[in-house]
Amino acid sequence: MTTALAPQLSRSITVGNWLPASGKVGEVVTPSRLDQSNFAFLQLLRSVAGEASERNWDGYGAEPVSSETLAMGKNFFYRMPAAYPKPDISSHPNGDLAFEWYVSPRRILTVTINDSGRLNYAWMIGVDRQYGTKHLLDRFPEEITAALRNIYSEGQTSVR
């Protein structure tokens, strides 16, 4: 994990590739509704949030990951493009959940989400870097999709 973009990440779990879920907000997710890989990813997301659900979970005064933040993390997962590997998952000391796609030291995207659906993102491809804030609404933000497309495209040096 790169500390240049996300220096406060302290708990993370890595998983493999996945296929899309139906994406309906509030639906009960069981292995019969998702393939096993998606179900495992949701279990890991719950586990990361659960490990950080108490105040001071890191021993340094961290804020807990709330049930609202976990729900927003699940909604983010439902909207992720299926064409890319699953990200690493971690909790931040401010109570946000983070999703990180790491290709190499110079090809990385990190997105955090809070309880209101605010997405803070930062990417680096080569020497190009960008960051911003979006909100999780009806669909996955195009800026984040473009960053994913470019960090997984060979020869790309910037997000278009």
Tens of pLDDT along 40-65?
Answer: 999 999 999 999 999 999 999 999 99
Least confident range from 10-14, 24-28, 90-94, 144-148: namely: 10-14
CB 37 within 8 A of CB 20: no
- Residue spans of beta strands (DSSP E) within 3-153: 11-13, 88-91, 97-104, 107-113, 118-125, 128-135
Please give the backbone phi and psi of residue 130, each rounded to the nearest 5 degrees, phi first. -155, 155
- Amino acid 3: pLDDT: 34
* pLDDT above 60 for 158: no
Number of C-beta neighbours around residue 135 at 10 A: 10
Q: Which residues contact 27 (CB under 8 A, 6 or more apart)?
A: 33
Rounded Cα gap, residues 144 and 140, in angstroms: 8
140's tokens? 């996955």
Burial of 67 (0-12, 13-18, 19+ CB in 10 A): exposed
Higher-pLDDT residue of 145 and 5 is 145
CB 86 within 8 A of CB 100: no
Residue 5: which pLDDT band, with cuts at 50, 70 and 90? very low
Residue 35: which pLDDT band, with cuts at 50, 70 and 90? confident
Write the CA distances from 75 to 44, 88, 128, 146, 159, integer angstroms: 15, 16, 29, 19, 24
Rounded Cα gap, residues 146 and 130, in angstroms: 12
Is the pTM of the predicted complex or chain greater than 0.85? no
* pLDDT above 50 for 79: yes
SS3 117: coil
Higher-pLDDT residue of 155 and 43 is 43
